[in-house]
Amino acid sequence: MSLFSVMIWLPVAVISCLAAGWLFQQALILSVNETTAKFLRTAPLTASFGLLTIILYITFAVFAPLIAPYQQYEILAGAFEPWAYPYLLGTDNLGRDVLSRLVYGARNTVGIAFLITALAFVVGTVLGIYSALRGGLVDQLFGRFIDVLMAIPTLIFSLLMLTIFGTSVLSLVLVIATIDSTRVFRIARAVALNIVVLDYIEAAKLRGESTTYLIVREILPNAMAPLAAEFGLRFCFVFLTISSLSFLGLGLQPPLADWGSMVRDNAELISFGDVTPLIPAGCIAVLTIAVNFVVDWLLHRASGLKD
């Protein structure tokens, strides 16, 4: 594809995406109650497009067996078959249907990324708030241990741990969740430090409330806005980390379909001007951008700023 073609089609694609976002926003407004509709009217077109994209990805992930024409591991034809019926996006280096693996990749990559992010947030948030609440020696010990872990580059640390513990799905989840929980710990602790000094926390302590009560009922509800925004951003980083590890051969292992490994498997096609390897890479980029659009909107609302 020439530079001139890209310059022509890029504005068309952007306008089409914004138009789809606007139509989706209007459809949602008409189908919900007035309170929710008022909330949705504040969303910019970029956020509406982001919501539409996220819903589409979730749909593909949940209904992958019904949408994909073939199984993700089926070898159906010769290697690198061209785009034509019945293989609409051709076949990969082993003769598997690229379209089917692309659909199943949404289930595997996105699903595992969400699981890792959720686990990292549970661990990081609880430890961060607990550390801020206790203070003193406990806070110092937690903080210095987290500093040591954060000093090691994420990708290098992940490669080292997966080399030691193996490349199973369980190892992948636990290793990346542990690494990312350190970042969540820092955010949760910073937010909680501004909350634990407030009067209603002191009043709850004087009433004799337990630490669990203070975390769950008093601190966490007031820290949800920044943590929810961080969840979206952290999901993007986890998603990209999984794809990077799969591209290097240490992420999701065959026969599971993964967008990172799909780029690696079909990379040699780029030399022949075939854009097939760019399709899973594009899926990764589009989801990352969509999540960031929604997070930016939620952060803007949480900040209380006016347009």
Domains and CATH numbers, the chain: 42-303 (1.10.3720.10)
Reply yes or no on whether the pLDDT at 73 is more than 70.
Answer: yes
Q: Whose CA is closest to 160, among 141, 258, 149?
A: 149
Q: What is the pLDDT confidence band of residue 45, given thresholds at 50, 70 and 90?
A: confident
Query: What is the pLDDT of the chain when averaged over all its residues?
Result: 82
Reply yes or no on whether the pLDDT at 1 is more than 50.
Answer: no
Q: What is the pLDDT confidence band of residue 302, given thresholds at 50, 70 and 90?
A: low
196's CB contacts (< 8 A; 6+ apart) are 132, 133, 135, 219
How many Å apart are CA 76 and CA 94, to the nearest integer? 9
Asked if residues 248 and 67 have their Cβ atoms less than 8 Å apart, the reply is: no
Asked if residues 225 and 301 have their Cβ atoms less than 8 Å apart, the reply is: no
How many Å apart are CA 175 and CA 161, to the nearest integer? 7
pLDDT of residue 119: 92
Arithmetic mean of pLDDT, 7-24: 74
In Å, how far are 57, 70, 72, 252 from 76, measured between CA atoms?
25, 9, 11, 22
Residue-wise pLDDT tens digits, 156-188: 888 888 888 887 888 888 888 988 899 899 989
pLDDT of residue 10: 64
Q: What is the three-class DSSP state of 86?
A: coil
Residue-wise pLDDT tens digits, 217-276: 888 888 887 888 788 888 888 888 888 888 887 777 777 888 888 888 888 887 777 788
User: Rounded to the nearest 10 degrees, what angle do helices 154-165 and 169-195 cross at?
Assistant: 140
pTM of the model: 0.82
**What percent of the chain stands above pLDDT 90?**
3
Position 33, amino acid? N
Reply yes or no on whether the pLDDT at 283 is more than 80.
Answer: yes
